[in-house]
Structure 1
Amino acid sequence: MKVVVDEEKCVAAGQCVAAAMDVFDQRDEDGIVVLLSENPSPELADDVRNAAAVCPALAIHIED
């Protein structure tokens, strides 16, 4: 699994962090998503897929 984020689309809602805090964070200055792990462990796959699904801006993409 490879995770790609589009910072230009991000609206700083923080749903990704709530869903998968081991993979996503937010910049302090503006709340834009920060990808902590481009290739998260298989144990985190469900959380990452959930984060992509709940992102209101559809800024998270998963490549299998």
Structure 2
Amino acid sequence: MAFVITEDCIICGTCWHICPTNSIIEYEDTYKIDEETCVECGACIKVCPNAAIVKSSKAKKEAATAEST
């Protein structure tokens, strides 16, 4: 299960600096996680000051809930 960076990202770069596999990529006005190189160590989740990184299944559930309201 991969991680995703949500719209709560404040683009601080903390996750980018901590990622041991350099799987966090700058993309337009946010960051994205490369699912192919991510080893799901969770280091990015632990250091994110805005709790903007979640497991992808949680992000999908949150998006579905937001769409239904």
Tell me the TM-score range normalised by the shorter chain.
0.5 to 0.7
Structure ranking higher in helix proportion: 2
Q: Which residue of 1 aligns with 2:47?
A: 54
Looking at structure 1, the residues matched to 25 and 12 of structure 2 have their Cα atoms a distance apart, in angstroms, of 11
Unaligned residue ranges in structure 2 (runs of 5+): 57-69
Amino acid at match of 1:14: G
Q: Deviations over 1:30-63 (max 9, x none)?
A: 3x112222673xxx333xx111111111111136
For these two proteins, the number of residue pairs brought into alignment is 56
Indicate the structure (1 or 2) with the bigger Cα radius of gyration: 2
Structure 1: runs of 5 or more not aligned? none
Q: Report the TM-score, using the length of structure 1 for normalisation.
A: 0.64
Q: Deviations over 1:10-44 (max 9, x none)?
A: 100011111115221223x53x112222673xxx3
In 2, Cα distance between the equivalents of 1:35 and 1:45? 10
RMSD over equivalenced CA pairs, Å: 2.6
